[in-house]
């Protein structure tokens, strides 16, 4: 896969050590969603895959996959949640957009839903739309792609945080692929840190 500059920059602050190629069937994904996907998201899935950032934000799968212990988070469920939130906030009177143009790619531990606004026919021009839970605005658009948005968010470059929580400490940033996290849980370890956890694995088969 051709290296993506945005993903390379993101990897400088968030190593892909515990990431994995998600091996997405992009043709099937495009058929399911009726659109192509931004190059940075495709590259992210190839380098990091779906998973957790510091245990406080999750990047979603474009297609469902069976989990080792539980099914990993996917775009369809959170997209439905984002569209329902749009309706609950007043629909077009609150944020004048076609709800079908909202597609989720991530969530935070503060119940914010990170989306694309897909009105432009070119996926690489899709801005990020944050459906915030405890943010100044219920809906806010940022003129960046997914990878640049994450880079700026994880680098604390926003004057006002676009999300409801802080999931960085100015230092270590960790990404853990969902499959690795579930293996750790089954082994009795904390899914995010890998340290022994007396509560992990409690419900493992």
Question: What CATH number is given to the structural domain containing 73?
Answer: 3.40.1580
Q: Specify if 196 maps to a domain.
A: no
Q: Rounded to a whole number, what is the distance in angstroms from the first to the last CA of the chain?
A: 37
| Comparison of pLDDT for 19 and 186, the residue scoring more | 19
Whether the pLDDT of residue 49 is over 60: the answer is yes
Whether the pLDDT of residue 24 is over 70: the answer is yes
Residue 1 confidence (pLDDT): 46
Q: Specify if 198 maps to a domain.
A: no
Phi–psi pair at 78, nearest 5 degrees: -75, -30
Average pLDDT over the chain, rounded to an integer: 89
Whether the pLDDT of residue 77 is over 70: the answer is yes
pLDDT band, very low/low/confident/very high, at 136 (cuts 50, 70, 90): confident
Alpha-helical (H) ranges within the chain are: 5-13, 26-33, 39-47, 75-88, 146-154, 178-186
Q: Specify if 191 maps to a domain.
A: no
Residue 17 confidence (pLDDT): 92
Whether the pLDDT of residue 86 is over 80: the answer is yes
Q: Specify if 56 maps to a domain.
A: yes
Q: Specify if 166 maps to a domain.
A: yes
Please tell me the chain's helix, strand, coil percentages from 3-state DSSP, rounded to the nearest 5. 35, 15, 50
Number of domains in the chain: 1
- Residue 29 sits in which domain range? 5-186
Q: Specify if 195 maps to a domain.
A: no
Residue 170 confidence (pLDDT): 58
Which of 74-88, 164-178, 181-195 has the highest mean predicted lDDT (pLDDT)? 74-88
């Amino acid at each position: 896969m051709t290296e993506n500059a945005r993903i390379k920059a993101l990897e400088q602050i968030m190593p892909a050590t515990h990431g994995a190629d998600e091996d997405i069937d992009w043709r099937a994904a495009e058929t399911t969603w009726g659109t192509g996907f931004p190059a940075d998201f495709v590259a992210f899935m190839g380098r990091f895959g779906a998973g957790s950032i510091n245990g406080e934000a999750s990047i979603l799968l474009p297609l469902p996959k069976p989990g080792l212990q539980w099914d990993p988070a996917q775009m369809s469920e959170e997209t439905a949640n984002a569209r329902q939130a749009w309706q609950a906030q007043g629909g077009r009177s609150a944020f004048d957009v076609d709800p079908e143009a909202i597609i989720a790619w991530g969530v935070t531990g503060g119940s914010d839903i990170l989306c694309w606004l897909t009105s432009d026919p070119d996926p690489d021009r899709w801005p990020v739309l944050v459906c915030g839970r405890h943010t100044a605005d219920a809906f806010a658009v940022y003129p960046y792609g997914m990878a640049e948005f994450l880079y700026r968010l994880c680098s604390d470059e926003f004057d006002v945080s676009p999300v409801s929580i802080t999931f960085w400490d100015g230092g270590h940033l960790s990404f853990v692929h969902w499959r690795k996290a579930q293996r750790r849980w089954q082994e009795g370890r904390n899914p995010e840190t890998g340290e022994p956890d007396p509560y992990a694995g409690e419900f493992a088969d």
